[in-house]
């Protein structure tokens, strides 16, 4: 009997037969009608919607328990950044120990606060949120929708620093904008943006170093000289106010030395500090899920770096030499870093290169939007748990 005959005989019978046919095909794996929709690359709008939803869930989980602004004021390094904003506004150091944090982010906070006549904390959060949106756009443009979607939820600390405030969104915005400029051979703009990123986070200098290596390999010595001058100019403009206000251009370096242990040197053998921190937690009172979470990220970092240089990825990274070099140098640096709180900071240190590592491991990202959205919602709730306690978010305590 034809479909038209069935339809004319009984619409209910026709729909029932169709439903049974679809169900049988689904169970047997022959129904691929939804596969193209799930396999299609997520659009920028969808990724931004996912990010906005995560922001909303994070805020909801916090505000139902306490004041968001009260949490943001004391979140991580925000107090230190706001102290530097006061120093910049007054153009005077109170004489107390100056924090080791670089001044690029406080400069941006002071500028936005002045332009829009808002409080420093409000400007700090605004820059972080807008910077996070810009990073999402840049990652989608550079590496595609699957990488952008996976990046925004794979590490819930990204939502924490995006909503509550942190220097990473501004740093990554400048860094990945420099990568985009370098891809289109706008090396002067790329060097300018990378140099600005160095004023926010000192590891931005690795990007300038990678630009220099690529141009030297291309024997483009004139461009190499120009970007070197741009980097030096930004460096001089940055350290001059430090010299005037604090009395030394190396104030941040001296501050970081306190984190490097008795040897006063930032590096050890690869994964040396990580192994010692992990063993200390293993034989201490650290809970198993914290150790498991801590152990996952170095493994992901090493896997991503190895994947970048595998033969099957050479074509994928053939036009992205700068980014491949940066990801390798940056990751190896922090795998060898001797920070005394590396066990608590490594997951955050790794965030700036996560898009590159995910791009190298792109084939392992599940092509199912249901999994991505479920992961995004869980990640948003996990991002709120450290601020208002796990039980207040999920309704139960971890063992």
Hey, where are the domains in the chain? 44-394
- 2-6, 123-127, 386-390: which has the minimum mean pLDDT? 2-6
- Residue 64 — φ and ψ, nearest 5°? -75, -10
Which of the four pLDDT bands, split at 50, 70 and 90, describes residue 160? Answer: very high
CA-to-CA distance for 392 and 384, rounded, in angstroms? 9
Assigned token pair, 163:
């909503």
153 vs 49: CA distance, rounded Å: 13
Q: What is the pLDDT of residue 5?
A: 45
Within 155-250, residue ranges assigned H as helices are: 157-163, 168-183, 187-200, 205-217, 221-245
Dihedral pair phi/psi, residue 337, rounded to 5°: -75, 150
Number of helical H runs and strand E runs in the chain: 23, 0
Tokens of 2: 């034809």
Q: What sign for the dihedral angle of Cα 187, 191, 192, 193?
A: positive
Using 50, 70 and 90 to split pLDDT, how confident is the model at 319? confident
What is the token pair recorded at 369? 């939007």
- Are 337 and 314 in contact by the 8 Å Cβ rule? The answer is no
What is the rounded CA–CA span in Å between residue 257 and residue 112?
31
- Which of the 8 DSSP states describes residue 368? -
pLDDT above 70 as % of the chain: 85
**103 DSSP assignment:** S
Helix (H, G, I), strand (E, B) or coil at 151: helix
Supply the DSSP symbol for 337. Answer: B
> CA-to-CA distance for 77 and 73, rounded, in angstroms?
9
User: Would you give the end-to-end CA distance of the chain in angstroms?
Assistant: 61
- In the structure, what pLDDT confidence band is assigned to residue 97 with cuts at 50, 70 and 90? low
Report the C-alpha dihedral over residues 344, 349, 275, 75, rounded to 10 degrees.
-10
Q: What is the pLDDT of residue 253?
A: 76
- Whether residue 15 has pLDDT greater than 80: no
Nearest CA among 103, 363, 114 for reference residue 241 = 103
Find, among 370, 369, 379, 366, the residue nearest to 293 by Cα: 379
Q: What is the pLDDT of residue 248?
A: 80
Q: Which residue bears the tokens 């990220």?
A: 297
- Sign of the CA dihedral running 214, 320, 356, 77: positive
- What would the mean pLDDT of 164-177 be, rounded to a whole number? 97
Output 69 or 92, whichever has higher pLDDT. 69
Residues 123, 112 contacting (CB under 8 angstroms): yes
**Pairwise CA distance, residues 114 & 106, whole Å:** 12
Judged on CB neighbours under 10 Å (0-12, 13-18, 19+), 163 is buried
What distance in Å separates the CA atoms of residue 367 and residue 378, rounded to the nearest whole number? Answer: 18
pLDDT band at 82 (very low <50, low <70, confident <90, very high): very high
Q: Which two tokens stand for residue 36?
A: 């193209």
Distance CA 142, CA 145 (A): 9
Kindly state the tokens that stand for 71.
């949490």
**pLDDT tops 60 at residue 13:** no
């Amino acid at each position: 009997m034809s479909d038209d005959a069935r339809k004319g005989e009984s619409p209910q019978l026709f729909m029932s037969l169709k439903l049974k046919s679809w169900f049988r095909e689904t169970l047997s794996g022959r129904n691929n009608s939804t596969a193209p929709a799930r396999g299609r690359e997520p659009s920028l709008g969808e990724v931004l919607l996912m990010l906005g939803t995560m922001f909303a869930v994070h805020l909801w989980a916090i505000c139902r328990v306490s004041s968001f602004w009260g949490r943001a004021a004391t979140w991580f390094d925000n107090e230190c950044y706001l102290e530097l904003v006061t120093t910049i506004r007054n153009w005077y150091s109170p004489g107390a120990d100056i924090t080791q944090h670089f001044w690029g982010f406080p400069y941006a906070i002071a500028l936005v606060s002045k332009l829009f006549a808002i409080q420093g904390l409000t400007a700090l959060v605004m820059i972080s949120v807008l910077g996070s949106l810009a990073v999402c756009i840049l990652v989608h443009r550079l590496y595609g929708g699957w990488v952008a979607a996976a990046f925004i939820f794979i590490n819930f600390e990204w939502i924490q620093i995006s909503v509550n405030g942190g220097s990473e969104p501004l740093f990554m915005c400048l860094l990945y904008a420099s990568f985009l400029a370098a891809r289109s051979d706008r090396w002067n703009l790329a060097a300018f943006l990378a140099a600005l990123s160095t004023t926010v986070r000192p590891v931005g200098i690795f990007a300038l170093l990678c630009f220099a290596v690529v141009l030297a390999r291309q024997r483009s010595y004139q461009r190499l000289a120009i970007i070197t001058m741009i980097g030096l100019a930004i460096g001089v403009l940055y350290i001059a106010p430090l010299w005037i206000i604090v009395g030394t251009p190396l104030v941040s370096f001296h501050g970081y030395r306190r984190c490097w242990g008795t040897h006063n040197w930032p590096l050890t053998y690869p994964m040396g500090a990580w192994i010692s921190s992990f063993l200390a937690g293993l034989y201490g009172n650290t809970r198993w899920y914290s150790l498991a979470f801590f152990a996952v990220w170095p493994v992901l970092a090493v896997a991503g770096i190895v994947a970048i240089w595998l033969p099957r990825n050479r074509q994928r990274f053939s036009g992205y030499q700068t980014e491949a070099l940066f990801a390798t140098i940056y990751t190896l640096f922090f795998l060898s870093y001797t920070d005394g709180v590396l066990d608590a900071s490594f997951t955050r240190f790794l965030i700036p290169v996560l898009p590159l590592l995910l791009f190298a491991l792109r084939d392992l990202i599940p092509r199912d939007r249901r999994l991505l959205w479920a992961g995004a919602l869980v990640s948003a709730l996990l991002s709120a748990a450290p601020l208002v306690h796990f039980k207040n978010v999920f309704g139960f305590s971890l063992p």
